[in-house]
Amino acid sequence: MRIGELARRTGVSERSLRYYEKQGLLAPERTLGGHRDFPDGAVDRVILIQELFAAGLHSRKIYEILPCMRDADGGPNEIATPLLVEELTAERERIDRMIADLVRSREVLDEVIRTASGRPALGPAGREAR
């Protein structure tokens, strides 16, 4: 499929798809006329790339990870190394810290909203304080 079709099917811009190719994340074939020709499996690959970007990984790390994943289900394959597992574990821990920070921020924001709207504050159990 051409780049426009891949962009339409994935919701990712053609510019981003070209960037993915430049970073080695996608490797389309070329037609005789020089146009990119992506296989149907590129849709799943682009979705996986988007999920990895959304998880906060940068393109160099995604480049390292992709060969260690099966495109169809995103699971690891035989070439995942212990070092990669260690690096990904560190990334997961970073994401967990970000989630905890966001939860704390939401709790503070909830308290400000309750106070500003004149509603009672919540106690430790999440119930209205008396």
Where in the chain are the domains?
A: 1-77, 81-121
pLDDT of res. 75: 56
Greater model confidence, 15 or 78: 15
Tokens 């080695």 belong to residue: 24
Residue 84 burial (CB < 10 Å; 0-12/13-18/19+)? middle
pLDDT tens track for 78-118: 666 788 788 888 888 988 999 999 999 999 999 999 999 98
- Please report how the helices 42-54 and 3-10 are oriented relative to each other, as an axis angle in degrees rounded to 10: 50
Spatial distance between the Cα atoms of 37 and 40, rounded to a whole number of angstroms: 10
Weakest mean pLDDT among 74-78, 83-87, 120-124: 74-78
pLDDT tens track for 46-74: 999 999 999 888 899 899 888 777 655 55
DSSP 12-28: --HHHHHHHHHTTS---
Weakest mean pLDDT among 6-10, 15-19, 92-96: 92-96
CATH number of 1-77: 1.10.1660.10
Q: Is the pTM of this model over 0.85?
A: no
Spatial distance between the Cα atoms of 101 and 106, rounded to a whole number of angstroms: 9
